[in-house]
Amino acid sequence: MKKLILFLGSILFISVFIVSSYALTGDEVLKKVDEALVRNNQVANLTMTLTDKNGIKQSREIQLFQKEGGKRLIKFLKPADVKGVGFLSLPNDEMYIYMPVLGKVRRIASHVKNQSFMGTDFSYEDIGGEKVSEGNNIKSFKEEEGSYLIEFSSTKKDASYSFVKMIINKETFIPSKTEFYDKAGKLCKVMLNQNVEKVDGKWVAKEIKMTNVKEDHNTVLKMTNMSFDDSISDDVFTQRNLQK
């Protein structure tokens, strides 16, 4: 009997050791979030719907180009008042915007990256797709059934938020909910990734909703068409192409 108890105890210890060996750290989870969100070369068409506190809506159509390594280009297709506007995000925190009415490309300075992107509830920093695993300090990390819960703050002096809270799906590593807190520590925005499906074997959120809690205003992005293209040229992600 004593030998049986010792044997079962050994099995339990080994099982716990194996499980703990494969447990992810908070930093590893955030890296997997980045892999899930920005690792793919893709082209997508999206509808953008802005809704104010009175329920008044504005609709736009945009095209997104994204390349592995941190390159992203967004072009507005409709309506006429925003057609031709382009936004380019490159590695090393480089961002540019092209406004047809001005006829030139303008670099976005670091101190304005927390401002609204084209009247939406996304800031330039939000829409630029910066990696969450870089330049952040994890304040808390725990697991719940089916999810990881992480709270982190940025190490950047010009960071838009004092800290961020994420609920991350364990299967897809796509955050189901992200809360953004302002410099005073108050909740200012909430982002939801919805309708998560597999497209060509990759998990994708087909709908993203960003709500400005203070303004009672929200922006919803819905994918109408998407493809993964490993052959996207670097020429797409240039200031010259931004103006076309």
Token duo for residue 226: 């998407």
Average pLDDT, the chain: 88
Q: For residue 218, how many other CB atoms are within 10 A of its CB?
A: 21
CATH class of 27-242: mainly beta
Candidate ranges 5-9, 100-104, 127-131; pick with highest mean pLDDT: 100-104
Residue matched to tokens 């979030």: 33
- Residue 2: the pLDDT is 52
Q: Which amino acid is residue 71, in one-letter code?
A: K
61-96 pLDDT, tens digit per residue, is 999 999 988 899 999 999 999 999 999 999 888 999
Does the CA dihedral 24-27-30-34 come out positive or negative? negative
160-187 pLDDT, tens digit per residue, is 899 999 999 999 999 999 999 999 999 9
- Residue 124: the pLDDT is 94
* CA neighbor of 91 nearest in space, from 142, 55, 130, 127: 130
Average pLDDT estimate for 140-158: 91
In this predicted model, which residue has the larger pLDDT, 4 or 196? Answer: 196
- Residue 205: the pLDDT is 94
Q: Where are the domains of the chain?
A: 27-242
24-34 pLDDT, tens digit per residue, is 999 999 999 98
In this predicted model, which residue has the larger pLDDT, 166 or 21? Answer: 166
Q: How far apart are the first and last CA of the chain?
A: 80
How does residue 155 score in pLDDT terms, banded at 50, 70 and 90?
Answer: confident
* CA neighbor of 166 nearest in space, from 183, 187, 141, 186: 141
Average pLDDT estimate for 214-224: 96
Cα(150)–Cα(173) distance, integer angstroms: 12
- Residue 159: the pLDDT is 81
Residue 5 has pLDDT above 90, yes or no: no
- The pTM assigned to this predicted structure is 0.87
Residue 240 has pLDDT above 50, yes or no: yes
| Distant-in-sequence contacts of 89-93, Cβ < 8 A, 24+ apart | 89/127, 89/128, 89/129, 90/237, 93/130
